[in-house]
Amino acid sequence: MMLKLINIKGDTMRLYAKIQMANMALLSSMVLAILFLPAWLYAKDTPKADTDADFQRHSDMALVQKVEECGPDCAKAISMGETLFLERCIDLAIKNQPSIIAAAYTVMANQSKIGQAGAGNYPQMDLSSSYSRYQPTTGGMSVPPTGLNQYTSSATIKQNIYDFGRVKTQVKIQELNAESSLYDLSNTTAQIVYNVKQAYYTLLQAGRNREVALETVMQFQQHLQQAIGFYSVGERAKFDVTKAEVDLSNAKLSMIKADNALRLARVNLNNAMGVPDAPEYLVQDNLMFKRYDVSLDKIIETAFNNRADLQSIKTKQAAARQTIELRKKDYYPTVQGSAGYSWGGESFAINGGWNIGAQVSISIFSGYLTKKQIEEAQLNLNVLKANEETIKQGIIVEVQQGYLNLKEAEERITATAVTVRQAKENLDLANGRYAAGVGNPIEVTDADVTYSNANTAHIQALTDYKIAQASIEKAMGERR
């Protein structure tokens, strides 16, 4: 009889285990049907977190991908004695400037936020397990207490079934924020490119000014030799020699300043390229006049269409409008499904049970929180609209300044070219008169100084023209 009871108990336990397995299978089927199906539908209807197709229209996306692949140390180093062209300097700056690299990482960080915003469309699963041992009170009796064990485990899964587009709107906002950060990267790149051009032309200017200073030193050395020769044969007074020595000393002083200006200009270009420890290199001298034909109206039109900072603020406005819509959705309910399975007991032979359900929640009154959040979002949009007007006005001023500087520099180039030619003729006449014994040292000094100043003014005009052109290109949103 005892053996029969044991067999019946064993059959009962096996039957119970089969029932538990059937319950688990049923629970799994219901979870798949109720939870994963809505998740799949949301994944189908919601914009994907990966928006590479949209970002590919921006040329700067290639830079973001480059930084993502190999970090900030991708640029090819400058070789000792290499001759750098302007395009090479710009390429180095784009790959090395920390501000550009930081902006590229900001784009990547904002792209990650797109996936974070879309996480609410997918099931949220949790698993927990615990163990506790407790000692019941004896109620004052002398019976020895007995300790009890408690094992509990649970698995839960939740799924957002319908939220009136909250998650979808959050994804859209983050997509717009990522696009705005990409425009910010473009704007940063344009500024760095302008800085490189400005430093490049300033270096060329410093190099040419040094050549002028060196030529002046050589001229005064020649004049000193003439004065010594005339004085030694008694044709000139000691004053001529002394005057020539003073002029030579002043020319050497100007040469020292020109050398230092050249070194400072090189330091500034290294900094603009993002390579402060660059070895010695040469630069291609393209400081020559080439007319840049463009109308003021065309510059302004192109700037309004291409400027990255203007596009960025417009994209932020679109994100702000989506934020207003998101706040309005707080007036509507949310529907959430949930399922779970739990185990518990005083030993490892524990019993289990499952649950499945849905929850509808809606805020009835939140102290006017939603209303104030909508009001805040609308005011933030108004701020962005005002900032857009500020940027537009700044663009117009920047374009007009660059255009006027360009035209003024062009006129100075023509005028200084004539001055250089005239000053050279005057210097030749003064040197000829002095060599013939009919001139005086003051004439030679004045002619040398005039010729040097004329050359310096012409070089300054060429440099200003190139920098003004670079300023216009930046104002129009060009990044090369």
Alpha-carbon span 384 to 380, nearest angstrom:
6
* Residue range 349-377, pLDDT digits in tens: 567 788 888 889 988 888 899 899 999 99
Give strand ranges (E) for 256-329. Answer: 282-283
> What confidence score (pLDDT) does residue 396 get?
95
Q: Copy the structure tokens of residue 222.
A: 């020649």
Q: Copy the structure tokens of residue 180.
A: 């705005």
> What confidence score (pLDDT) does residue 51 get?
44
* Residue range 232-267, pLDDT digits in tens: 888 888 998 999 999 999 999 999 999 999 999 999
Residue extents of the structural domains in the chain: 61-121+165-331+366-475
Q: Which are the contacts of 388, defined by CB distance < 8 A and separation ≥ 6?
A: 310, 313, 314, 317
> What confidence score (pLDDT) does residue 15 get?
47
> What confidence score (pLDDT) does residue 122 get?
87
Q: Copy the structure tokens of residue 273.
A: 């390229």
- Any long-range contacts for 240-248 (C-beta under 8 Å, 24+ apart)? 240/441, 243/441, 243/442, 243/445, 244/220, 244/441, 247/220, 247/223, 247/441, 247/445, 247/448, 248/217, 248/220, 248/221, 248/223, 248/224
Alpha-carbon span 52 to 170, nearest angstrom:
18
Instruction: Collect the ranges in the chain with pLDDT lower than 50.
Output: 1-10, 12-13, 15-17, 19, 22, 26-27, 35, 42, 46-57
One-letter amino acid of 126: D
> What confidence score (pLDDT) does residue 179 get?
94
Q: Say if CB 270 and CB 447 are below 8 A apart.
A: no
| CATH topology classification for 61-121+165-331+366-475 | Outer membrane efflux proteins (OEP) (1.20.1600)
CB atoms inside a 10 Å sphere around CB 406:
21
> What confidence score (pLDDT) does residue 138 get?
59
pTM: 0.81
> What confidence score (pLDDT) does residue 62 get?
62
Which class for 269: exposed (0-12), middle (13-18), buried (19 or more C-beta within 10 A)?
Answer: buried
For 377-387, b/e burial (b = at least 16 CB within 10 A) is beebbeebeee
Q: Say if CB 247 and CB 217 are below 8 A apart.
A: no
